[in-house]
């Protein structure tokens, strides 16, 4: 087994840089630079010297085999975060026998192959590293810590029990087993179908936590859509002007909205038009807002813009509240110009979207959801067969085994190799 090493912290100038080594030679190699090694899990300051040249004054930290992130012997060098120090230490390590630079995701791959984490945790870890908002951090941390793994393990146990109950009756078919196992199997399958379906249902929304929710701003020309977008984005992302029909293309701004990842869409003002270019813009506005997760519809005195019929979750707000219409400020009215009502609007958007994510579910990956759907399909077939008389026990058990295989694929117990390259391609080196 090669000993691998890589810069674990971000590239470039920094306070501290961490180089991590994993594999059988990792401690020896560090010993050659540091001289006397500290006790495992005890950071110690050492002068790193190679061929009589001091490389750096660094902290050395060792993890024993069986008690590290990868499960292998691990050594870490916490160096001064200098580009030159890191480059020189990496160069020296490359010359050490049995040592080579790690590939992207290779530390995590070893953790997976050594059974410290499963495939869902690998995906959770990748999501955690990619997390930019609070909701993403929370959700991916749960997955990384094994929330999906634990659930899948419980489901798998229930499936194995169902299959085992049925198989017992197959084995003893000619002995006329006195107990009828179908009631218990029926109960187990119904519970599983309910739980797995609930998980799939919630996962579609949670997948949005990864790519972001799309929120489209709609309204008539000059309603103040682009001004609102700029206000929410905190920068002049879109051109605004008093000319009706300024915005033509859909303008996308990605932002952190109360902890949720949101892509705001500014769109062309909706109206009847003879201008073909404006017409294309309006068609795009309608198309993108149809696919969006949520619509914020700006209205003026004239009411709803043409071509819009309201949906349950639409957020309708009067714009340009600073201009006043005589009476006191309407609740929910906003002004992109003065900022009035903007915090409330953000709150409303976050509440609507947050409510969709809030469920006890954990799955947030398309790959995991597809595995669950496949397990549900197999369980459904098993469940239907259970009501057929005479019961075709072997067929039912086979459907259940199929569902078990789907779960095993999901957590990477089987069929993992072809998936790994794809998954680790998105990892950084050193992770
Ligand atoms: N310096 C440093 N910080 C880091 C990491 C790292 O590799 N190095 N991690 C890398 O991702 C994360 C922590 N992940 C880790 C996971 C397990 C073990 C570990 O040694 N586990 C042992 C002992 C647990 C214990 O102390 O009780 C074990 O589980 O047996 C270490 C780090 C985040 N911070
Ligand atoms: N007083 C006031 N003026 C506003 C407000 N929001 C926008 N405006 C003005 O209204 C005009 C139109 O604003 P835009 O944000 O470009 O409107 P839009 O909805 O994007 O318009 P189109 O892109 O043409 O569809 C500009 O002159 C803005 O300065 C507001 O809240 N209060
Ligand atoms: Mg505009």
Does the pLDDT value for residue 180 go beyond 90?
no
- pLDDT of 359 reads 78
Arithmetic mean of pLDDT, 261-284 = 96
431 is annotated as contributing to ligand binding: yes
CA dist 13 and 89 (Å) reads 15
Q: Ligand 2: distance of its center to the CA of 373 in Å?
A: 46
* Ligand 1 atom at minimal distance to the Cα of residue 61: 1
For ligand 2, say whether the CB of 245 is within 6 Å of any of its atoms.
yes
For ligand 2, say whether the CB of 365 is within 6 Å of any of its atoms.
no
Arithmetic mean of pLDDT, 258-275 = 96
Q: Which of 64-73, 310-319, 348-357 has the highest mean pLDDT?
A: 64-73
Numbered ranges of CATH 3.30.1360.120 in the chain: 3-117
- pLDDT of 429 reads 83
Q: Ligand 2: distance of its center to the CA of 221 in Å?
A: 8
CA nearest 209: which of 366, 422, 428?
366
pTM of the model: 0.86
Hey, which of 219, 227, 334 would you mutate to test ligand 2's pocket, going by the most ligand atoms within 8 Å of its Cβ? 227
351 is annotated as contributing to ligand binding: no
- pLDDT of 404 reads 97
- pLDDT level of residue 328 (50, 70, 90 thresholds): low
Hey, which of 230, 240, 268 would you mutate to test ligand 2's pocket, going by the most ligand atoms within 8 Å of its Cβ? 240
Secondary structure class of 290 (helix, strand, coil): helix
pLDDT digits (tens, 9 = 90+) for 122-163: 999 999 999 999 999 999 999 999 999 999 999 999 999 999
Residue 170 half-sphere exposure, CB side, CA atoms within 13 Å?
Answer: 14
DSSP H or E segment with residue 393: helix 393-411
Numbered ranges of CATH 3.40.50.300 in the chain: 217-358
The chain-wide mean pLDDT, for the chain, equals 93
Q: Ligand 1: distance of its center to the CA of 135 in Å?
A: 23
- pLDDT of 181 reads 87
Strand order in the sheet with 315-318: 251-257, 260-266, 213-218, 294-299, 315-318
Residues with CB under 6 A from ligand 1: 18, 63, 67-69, 76
Q: Ligand 3: distance of its center to the CA of 254 in Å?
A: 17
Helical H runs in 5-64?
A: 26-34
- pLDDT level of residue 220 (50, 70, 90 thresholds): very high
| Residue 292: DSSP 8-state | S
pLDDT digits (tens, 9 = 90+) for 25-58: 999 999 999 999 999 999 999 999 999 999 999 9
Q: Which residue has the higher pLDDT, 421 or 265?
A: 265
390 Cβ contact partners less than 8 Å away, ≥ 6 residues apart: none
Arithmetic mean of pLDDT, 303-319 = 90
Numbered ranges of CATH 1.20.120.430 in the chain: 134-208+365-412
CA nearest 396: which of 388, 414, 176?
388
For ligand 2, say whether the CB of 241 is within 6 Å of any of its atoms.
yes
Q: Which residue has the higher pLDDT, 22 or 309?
A: 22
Q: Which residue has the higher pLDDT, 205 or 33?
A: 33
- pLDDT of 172 reads 66
- pLDDT of 10 reads 94
Least confident of 112-116, 299-303, 348-352: 299-303
Arithmetic mean of pLDDT, 103-110 = 95
Does the pLDDT value for residue 327 go beyond 60?
no
Fold designation for 217-358: Rossmann fold (3.40.50)
Arithmetic mean of pLDDT, 364-375 = 95
105 is annotated as contributing to ligand binding: no
Arithmetic mean of pLDDT, 10-36 = 97
* Ligand 2 atom at minimal distance to the Cα of residue 320: 31
For ligand 2, say whether the CB of 351 is within 6 Å of any of its atoms.
no
Please state, as a whole number, how many other Cβ atoms lie within 10 Å of the Cβ of residue 235: 11
The answer to whether the CB of 358 falls within 8 A of the CB of 264 is: no
Least confident of 26-30, 269-273, 311-315: 311-315
For ligand 2, say whether the CB of 320 is within 6 Å of any of its atoms.
yes
Domain 3-117, CATH 3.90.1150.10 — does that match? no
Please state, as a whole number, how many other Cβ atoms lie within 10 Å of the Cβ of residue 313: 12
Please state, as a whole number, how many other Cβ atoms lie within 10 Å of the Cβ of residue 358: 11
Write out the E strands in 291-372: 294-299, 315-318
Does the pLDDT value for residue 319 go beyond 90?
yes
Which residue CA neighbors atom 14 of ligand 1 most closely? 69
CA dist 100 and 304 (Å) reads 64
Does the pLDDT value for residue 329 go beyond 70?
no
- pLDDT level of residue 171 (50, 70, 90 thresholds): low
Q: Ligand 1: distance of its center to the CA of 69 in Å?
A: 5
Hey, which of 22, 69, 137 would you mutate to test ligand 1's pocket, going by the most ligand atoms within 8 Å of its Cβ? 69
The answer to whether the CB of 338 falls within 8 A of the CB of 263 is: no
CA dist 337 and 339 (Å) reads 6
Q: Ligand 2: distance of its center to the CA of 323 in Å?
A: 12
Least confident of 171-175, 229-233, 242-246, 303-307: 171-175
Fold designation for 134-208+365-412: 1.20.120
Compute φ and ψ for 264, nearest 5 degrees.
-85, 140
């Amino acid at each position: 087994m090669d000993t691998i090493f890589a810069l674990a912290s971000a590239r470039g100038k920094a306070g501290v840089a961490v180089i991590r080594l994993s594999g059988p030679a990792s401690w020896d190699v560090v010993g050659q630079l540091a001289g006397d090694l500290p006790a495992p899990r005890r950071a110690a300051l050492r002068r790193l010297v190679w061929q009589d040249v001091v490389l750096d004054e660094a902290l050395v930290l060792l993890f024993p085999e069986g008690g590290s992130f990868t499960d292998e012997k691990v050594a870490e060098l916490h160096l001064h975060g200098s580009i030159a120090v890191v480059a020189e230490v990496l160069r020296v390590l490359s010359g050490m026998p049995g040592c080579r630079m790690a590939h992207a995701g290779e530390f995590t791959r070893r953790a997976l192959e050594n059974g410290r984490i499963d495939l869902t945790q690998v995906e959770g870890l990748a999501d955690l590293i990619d997390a930019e908002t609070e909701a993403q951090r929370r959700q991916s941390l749960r997955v990384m810590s094994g929330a999906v793994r634990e659930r899948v393990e419980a489901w798998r146990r229930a499936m194995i029990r169902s299959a085992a109950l049925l198989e017992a009756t197959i084995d003893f078919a000619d002995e006329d087993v006195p107990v009828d196992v179908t009631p218990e199997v029926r109960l187990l399958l119904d519970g599983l179908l309910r739980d797995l379906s609930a998980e799939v249902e919630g996962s579609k929304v949670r997948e949005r936590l990864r790519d972001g929710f799309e929120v489209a701003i709609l309204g008539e020309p000059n309603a103040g859509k682009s001004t609102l977008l700029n206000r929410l984005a905190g920068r002049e992302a879109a051109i605004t002007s008093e000319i009706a029909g300024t915005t033509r293309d859909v303008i996308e701004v990605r932002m952190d909205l109360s902890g949720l990842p949101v892509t705001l869409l500014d769109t062309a003002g909706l109206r009847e038009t003879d201008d073909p270019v404006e017409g294309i813009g309006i068609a795009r506005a309608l198309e993108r807002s149809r696919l969006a997760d949520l619509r914020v519809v700006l209205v003026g005195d004239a009411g709803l813009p043409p071509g819009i019929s309201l949906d349950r979750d639409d957020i309708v707000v009067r714009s340009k509240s600073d201009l006043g219409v005589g009476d006191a400020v309407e609740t929910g009215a906003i002004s992109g110009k003065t900022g009035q009502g903007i915090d409330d609007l953000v709150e409303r958007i976050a509440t609507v979207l947050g409510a969709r994510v809030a469920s006890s579910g954990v799955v947030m990956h398309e790959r995991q959801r597809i595995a669950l759907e496949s397990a549900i399909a197999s369980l459904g077939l098993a469940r239907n067969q259970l009501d057929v008389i005479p019961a075709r026990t072997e067929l039912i058990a086979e459907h259940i085994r199929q569902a078990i295989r789907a779960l095993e694929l999901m957590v990477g117990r089987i069929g993992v190799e072809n998936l790994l390259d794809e998954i680790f391609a998105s990892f950084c080196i050193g992770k």
